[in-house]
Structure 1
Amino acid sequence: MEVGRDTARRAGTGNEENSGAGQSILPSGLYGVRFRYQGKQASGVVAIHGDSFAGGDSGMAYYGKLTRSGAQLRATVTTLRHTDTGGVALLGSDNLEFVADGQPTGSGAIFSGDAPHTGQRFEFSLTGIRTPGLSI
């Protein structure tokens, strides 16, 4: 994958989108992720390539798939603890699978869904990180 001419316009990632049938749901690149649930926040990073993403924070890893239906996005997410940080996972459990629906923004996307086991709403946002020269 090579850096495109109009990278500054694409979600701030500085990377070129896939073309053709396998086109990215969001431009491939590195994204900051911020989770919000019951007044608490956590943040990390994810790399998106095509319809897949993977990333994590100091205690949790998360990975999954992105799909698009019209303007609506859907993230299917799996989380797992990779390091015992002594804290409780933001959504209340270490190893989860959940889905969240969202909308693209100028620099990424915002998703929301119901937390597994509690049914209470959570939100997470993806914001592109400028990474000139990085090919994902």
Structure 2
Amino acid sequence: MANVSYFEAWGMWFDGRSTPGNDLLGLSMIWWGRFGKILSFVAGAAVIVDLLGPSRLSRYSDRLTGFLARRTFMATAGASFVAAITFLWITDPIGMHRLLQSVLCLTFVTAAGLLVTAVSRALPATHRVIRAASRERVVG
């Protein structure tokens, strides 16, 4: 892969030439594109959070915390089921060995269930932080 400078990369892009076969500052152009997409997502989320404001976020957090507190088991079971179906749907056509497929599927399903459980446990703490921040913003 050819290492190009910042201005050479811009020149290639403006000329309509493909840049994915090159490196910029030692990093593949594919990774620069991925970083750009992640930063775009974070920036968009920050704008949405700012537009919603602390009071709306606090109300949404109340509703979401109550919902997840009642439905943690169902959410965990649902996420695990969706993870299993998705995993099998992806790995079945490639002809993966059944034992390996079963072990990986079990790992994937467990991880999905643990993630949902961790998020549902973390939300009450997040709710308290949002409440404190909204009070501080209103008072300050």
TM-score with structure 1 setting the length: 0.23
Instruction: Tell me: higher relative CO, structure 1 or 2? Use CA pairs within 8 A at least 6 residues apart.
Output: 1
TM-score with structure 2 setting the length: 0.22
Normalized per residue, which structure has more strand?
1
